[in-house]
């Protein structure tokens, strides 16, 4: 079974629990939505972008773990990094099934067809091919920003609660 077929099987399982929210949709409509969502994913380069995201997430996880396990050798860390990366990358189809379900829940088949048509234009192909590099280039900055924003929100909440200045 190829990667695309496996993604369809995983998507069907995920969608069996997420798509009932589409009231009045027939089984054929749900299948059409899944097919359209898979076409968006294939045409617009989302698999590559998700692989980069998972690789960067693995690197970030390994870096965090490295701080807590100083006794491992560099060779052991290289093995650890390889195992974590491979494990996360092996879950690409499961992650894509979640994306498929999200698209099929929130977009119509017509909307997804329009996205595919765009991804087939010169600008769409450029965006699709650039997405993986954009993910690589911005991952660390986005993670740093998110960490900073969460820390600031936590500190603000803590200060306002401890000083009694919080007012709903």
Asked if 33 and 104 touch (Cβ cutoff 8 Å), the reply is: yes
pLDDT at 27: 79
Asked if 89 and 36 touch (Cβ cutoff 8 Å), the reply is: no
Reading the block at residue 166, the tokens are 């919080």
pLDDT at 3: 47
pLDDT at 141: 92
CA proximity to 104, closest of 93, 112, 114 = 112
Q: Is 147 helix (H, G, I), strand (E, B) or coil?
A: helix
CA proximity to 97, closest of 8, 18, 168 = 8
For 24, 100, 123, 129, the CA distances from 31, given in Å and listed in that order, are: 14, 11, 29, 27
pTM above 0.85, yes or no: no
pLDDT at 120: 95
pLDDT by position in tens, the chain (length 168): 454 454 444 444 444 544 445 445 677 888 999 999 999 999 998 999 999 999 999 998 888 888 888 888 889 988 998 999 999 999 999 999 999 999 999 999 999 999 999 999 999 999 998 988 998 899 889 989 988 999 899 898 889 888 988 888
24: left (phi over 0), alpha (psi -120 to 50) or beta: left
Asked if 107 and 19 touch (Cβ cutoff 8 Å), the reply is: no
CA proximity to 80, closest of 95, 69, 90, 93 = 69
Reading the block at residue 10, the tokens are 């995983």
For 53, 103, 129, 131, the CA distances from 125, given in Å and listed in that order, are: 20, 20, 6, 10
pLDDT at 25: 62
């Amino acid at each position: 079974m190829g990667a695309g077929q496996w993604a369809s099987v995983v998507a069907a399982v995920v969608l069996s629990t997420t798509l009932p929210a589409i009231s009045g949709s027939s089984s054929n409509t749900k299948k059409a939505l899944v097919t359209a969502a898979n076409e968006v994913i294939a045409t617009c380069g989302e698999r590559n972008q998700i692989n980069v995201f998972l690789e960067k997430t693995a690197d970030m996880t390994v870096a965090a773990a490295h701080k807590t396990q100083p006794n491992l050798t560099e060779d052991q860390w290289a093995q650890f990094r390889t195992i974590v990366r491979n494990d996360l990358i092996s879950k690409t189809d499961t992650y894509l099934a979640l994306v498929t379900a999200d698209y099929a829940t929130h977009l119509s088949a017509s909307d997804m067809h329009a996205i595919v048509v765009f991804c087939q234009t010169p600008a769409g192909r450029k965006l699709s091919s650039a997405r993986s590099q954009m993910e690589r280039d911005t991952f660390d900055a986005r993670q740093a920003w998110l960490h900073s924003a969460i820390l600031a929100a936590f500190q603000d909440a803590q200060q306002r609660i401890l000083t009694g200045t919080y007012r709903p």
